[in-house]
Amino acid sequence: MSARSQRPALDRFRLAAAVLVVCIHTGPLSSVSGVWDFWLCRVLARTAVPFFLMITGYFLVRSEWKSTGRFLKKTALTYLAAVALYLPLNLYNGGYGLLEWIQKILAEGTLYHLWYFPAVILGVFIAWGLSKLGQPVVLIIAALLYLIGLGGDSYYGLISSLPGPAAFYQAVFAVFGYTRNGVFLAPLFLLLGGLGRWWSKSASLAGFGASIALMTAEGFLLRSLGWQRHDSMYLALPLCMLFLFSLLLGQNAGEDKRARRVSLLIYLLHPWSIVLVRGGAKVVRLEALLVENSVVHFFAVLALTLGMALVLDAVRPIRPSPTSRAWKEIDLDALRHNAETLQSRLSPGCELMAVVKADGYGHGAAAVARSLQKSGVNAFAVATMSEGISLRKAGVRGTILVLGYTPAEGIPLLRRWRLVQTVADEAHGRALDAAGRLLRVHIAVDTGMHRLGAPAEDIDALSRLWALKNLKIEGMFSHLCVSDRLDREALDYTHAQLDRFYGTADTLRKRGLAPGKLHIQASYGILNLPAQPCAYARAGIALYGVGSESAAVALEAGLRPVLSLRANVACVRELSPGEGAGYGLTFRANRHTRLAVLSIGYADGLPRELAQNGGRVLLHGQSCPMVGRMCMDQLFVDVTDVSSVRPSDTATLIGRNGELTIRAEEVSRRCGTITNELLSRLGPRLGQAAR
């Protein structure tokens, strides 16, 4: 999309809304006209905070509330930073007692403008909780809360003479100070924003004009009646906001992140500017101009605030965007769907153990494990101790089994991070035991793959492991080596492996030795075998929704690919017939050719031979062939037939684009490998974006 077609109306209006908030706190027209100042600050500017609430609700609802956790965390951190920023002012003003600090932080904000943060946090909790009730119930409840809020705000004079309501509002004011808070004000606007409704531009403009006129009349009437305890909430305000938001939403295209950041900074910093302008005016003896003239005062505050905001924005630490070059996109919904699908194929009592070795098969082990943990998976397997430690550091709880060999030196770390170690054979078991520290282990049993594991038939050797005092044996497992085939010979071999495994477990039990939790299926074992009498099934590749074109799967499982791989177009160039491109000039144009150069190469983990073996990418929903030799950091694509391709367009190497899809299975086949290898080799240089 070109820059010109973008009109990020919502983000740009944040700037206007932030300036309106500055108006409220400076009263730009107060020394000119009381009436106009009232209209500007107490009527018009009252649209600012509801706008911020609506845009928050709009984005949270659009993400189906999935980004709520991230939003709350970010908002809480910003709030704490703001509290710290204004600590000097608070202390200068005498500070608060401990209980008062807690009440201020949780309910009212610690300086006048900071009430917004606890309000939006509480409001989001309430709106999110209510949203489960469905419409229109949720809107009715939020509107009722708003009406109650009105009674403590602009309409207080009407209500306060009645003893019952007066007592109620006194109780509210003891906690919040005002009713324009997270309970009475925020939920309605969050939910109205969430509706995302818009009408035509002219209808929105007319509606906004009419409703702001209505609100003006309402404001002045209430002012003349002397009913207002505060003037944040009007009956006409929600109507006004629906039209204003509709007007902006109808014009909105794209986003302006800088406007977002700067508007937040204006909001956060302006009270400091007010203090600095007043202090500065005193020092240079220009109070008559800079403070008493409200118009000059407002512009001085605004200029200083804007200056500070722009400087802070310019010096902020900038992290490269994950999608600026080549990146993986992880669909956590698909991951959870796959986990549920696989779990549903297991016998009751058998748990899915998610295999997240090799950085979760290239999907990002920490993100994968954390997401699965949230949907109830409690056991994880990794190949190495370091991988297990990384998971713990990322906050993963539950069982973590190290499937590979770890020498006895690793025992202190295995214990420190509560990892369960695989015992690879009798010698390994003895070495681990000799270290003299109790260690949680699973015993690997070799039933025919001849990789790790003590031989299943050597019961005496196995029994000796149970005699080792420092091994706390919690489980026993084996691995199938031909479960991805359905021919007679392979099936016989798999069943022989299963028989050996369960036979060994039985014999051990007869000897009074508890084998603990049993597990033998990996992905193809889950897909091709009936449910097994085990405690775990270890799913790797199937969890990520891919298989391999050569593997046989008995039943279509409905698994969804989790990973997409994308890269940007760096440049597009024209070649005349006969011209060559790339190392060795192995590509020769046989017609007038447009070549797109993509910012991804074999150093990102793509197999180098893919370009020669019919590799392709999707651009603008069409398939384009790779040509020439793949470079370390770039590759060539022939886009002669897709004339719309431009630099910075996004190409899809794995995943969906429009109607077309390139599957990881296809890419692996072209390179004579399997998806496990392809995905686990995707390099650390790739960015990572959640979908």
Ligand X SMILES: *Cc1c(COP(=O)(O)O)cnc(C)c1O
| Amino acid at position 198, single letter | W
Q: How far is the CB of 478 from ligand X (least distance, A)?
A: 9
HSE of 605, CA atoms in CB hemisphere, 13 A: 26
In 3-state terms, what secondary structure has residue 117? Answer: helix
Q: Residue 480 or 686: which CB sits closer to ligand X?
A: 480
Q: How far is the CB of 538 from ligand X (least distance, A)?
A: 4
Under the rule (CB under 6 A), what is the footprint of ligand X?
355, 357, 403, 479, 522-523, 538-542, 676
Are 72 and 124 in contact by the 8 Å Cβ rule? The answer is: yes
Q: Residue 149 or 540: which CB sits closer to ligand X?
A: 540
Q: Residue 222 or 542: which CB sits closer to ligand X?
A: 542
- Length of the chain, in residues: 691
In 3-state terms, what secondary structure has residue 503? Answer: helix
CA distance 263 to 261: 6
* Token couple for 671: 């390179």
HSE of 406, CA atoms in CB hemisphere, 13 A: 31
Q: Residue 232 or 447: which CB sits closer to ligand X?
A: 447
HSE of 86, CA atoms in CB hemisphere, 13 A: 27
Residue 118: name the closest of 191, 69, 42, 183 by CA: 183
- Residue 289 DSSP class: I
Q: Residue 232 or 548: which CB sits closer to ligand X?
A: 548
Q: Residue 354 or 396: which CB sits closer to ligand X?
A: 354
Q: How far is the CB of 497 from ligand X (least distance, A)?
A: 13
All residues at 6 or more sequence positions from 135 whose CB lies less than 8 Å from its CB, including other chains: none
Which residue of the chain is nearest ligand X when measured via CB? Answer: 540
Q: How far is the CB of 533 from ligand X (least distance, A)?
A: 18
Residue 671: name the closest of 600, 615, 587, 628 by CA: 615
Q: Residue 357 or 629: which CB sits closer to ligand X?
A: 357
Task: For residue 190, give Cα distances in angstroms to 140, 473, 685.
Answer: 13, 53, 39
Q: Residue 156 or 501: which CB sits closer to ligand X?
A: 501
Q: How far is the CB of 403 from ligand X (least distance, A)?
A: 5
CA distance 111 to 274: 13
Q: How far is the CB of 361 from ligand X (least distance, A)?
A: 7
- Among 104, 328, 357, 517, which one carries the catalytic annotation? 357
Burial of 395 (0-12, 13-18, 19+ CB in 10 A): exposed
Q: How far is the CB of 483 from ligand X (least distance, A)?
A: 8
Q: Please provide residue 2's backbone torsions phi and psi, each rounded to the nearest 5 degrees.
A: -80, 160
| Amino acid at position 623, single letter | S
- Residue that has been written with the tokens 């489960």 in this structure: 132
Q: Residue 445 or 468: which CB sits closer to ligand X?
A: 445
CA distance 452 to 408: 16
Instruction: Tell how far CA 651 is from the center of its chain.
Output: 23
Q: Residue 233 or 452: which CB sits closer to ligand X?
A: 452
CA distance 370 to 566: 24
* Token couple for 599: 């910012």
CA distance 24 to 109: 17
Are 249 and 3 in contact by the 8 Å Cβ rule? The answer is: no
Are 441 and 401 in contact by the 8 Å Cβ rule? The answer is: no
Q: Residue 224 or 344: which CB sits closer to ligand X?
A: 344
Q: How far is the CB of 476 from ligand X (least distance, A)?
A: 13
Q: How far is the CB of 395 from ligand X (least distance, A)?
A: 23
Q: Is 583 a catalytic residue?
A: yes
CA distance 343 to 413: 31
The CB density around residue 186, as the number of other CB atoms within 10 Å, is 32
Q: Residue 126 or 403: which CB sits closer to ligand X?
A: 403
Q: How far is the CB of 565 from ligand X (least distance, A)?
A: 19
- Among 257, 282, 374, 583, which one carries the catalytic annotation? 583
- Residue 22 DSSP class: H
Q: What interhelical angle do 186-195 and 137-151 show, nearest 10?
A: 140
Residue 212: name the closest of 46, 5, 417 by CA: 46
Angle at 263 between CA 13 and CA 118, to 5 degrees: 105
Q: Residue 405 or 466: which CB sits closer to ligand X?
A: 405
Beta strands 439-446 and 454-455 are parallel
Q: How far is the CB of 561 from ligand X (least distance, A)?
A: 14
Largest CA distance in the chain: 98
CA distance 356 to 537: 13
Residue 690: name the closest of 397, 371, 476 by CA: 371
Are 46 and 234 in contact by the 8 Å Cβ rule? The answer is: yes
- Residue 598 DSSP class: E
Q: How far is the CB of 532 from ligand X (least distance, A)?
A: 14
Residue 128: name the closest of 86, 197, 187, 41 by CA: 187
- Give catalytic residue positions: 357, 583
